[in-house]
A and B are shown apart, each in its own frame.
Chain A
Amino acid sequence: DTEVTQTPKHLVMGMTNKKSLKCEQHMGHRAMYWYKQKAKKPPELMFVYSYEKLSINESVPSRFSPECPNSSLLNLHLHALQPEDSALYLCASSPRELTNEQFFGPGTRLTVL
């Protein structure tokens, strides 16, 4: 299995909802990443987990809460989001945090109403 999977593919939520994005990889990678990408912009790093511990938090608002239950899974819990949080949320993994190539999942297209 050489891919990163993400669910759901699309998500529409209201500003008072609580939802979660899920990411999974079975390549034995020990680093996992959340990115946010707006249209026609490059990906913006949000969080990095290395060996299931939060390594980097790029000053992301607390309405985004990451969780790494085990080495294969990465969640992003969403609560009280704003319409400007609408974007493509990409998960990626790499063998370790400082290795060269990151493998990206297909993303979750999030719309906040």
Chain B
Amino acid sequence: GQNIDQPTEMTATEGAIVQINCTYQTSGFNGLFWYQQHAGEAPTFLSYNVLDGLEEKGRFSSFLSRSKGYSYLLLKELQMKDSASYLCAVRDSNYQLIWGAGTKLIIKP
């Protein structure tokens, strides 16, 4: 079966750095996505990785290792507004998006 694993919840301190991991087992791979979703709101696109390595976009970076079936989202200089759920999703060989359950990130002052 297809499976995406990410931690259920993480807590970090304002101004710090946090890394949210995602591991996947899917039938084929055509890219990995990270979305941010604030409570009661729609998901918003953060990043897309299809090749191995690190993609940096401002305070957010995403890393992919296809051989390990592993990705992480790195958030730097955390702000209170970063408190949200972070969803990892993988596009499989049929180009279907398989979603992880999301990681709820709590930022404390």
Contacts and interface: CB of A to CB of B under 8 A. Distances in A.
* Binding partners A and B: yes
Contact of B89 (A40, A42, A88, A103): A42
Interface string B12-33: 0000000000000000000101
A25 to B, nearest CB: 13
Contacts of B45: 101-103
Interface stretch (A61-69, A72-80, A104-112): A104-112
B96 A90 contact: no
Contacts of B104: 40
A8 interface: no
B95 A104 contact: no
B95 A107 contact: no
Nearest to B88: A42
Given A98-B95, A100-B31, A106-B42, A41 B48 contact: no
Given A103-B45, A106-B41, A42 B95 contact: no
Nearest to B4: A42
Contact of A104 (B44, B96, B102): B44
Contacts of A88: 40
A28 interface: no
A100 to B, nearest CB: 5
A54 interface: no
A90 B40 CA distance: 11
Given A42-B89, A43-B99, A100 B43 contact: no
Interface of B: 31, 33, 40-45, 48, 87, 89, 95-97, 99-102, 104
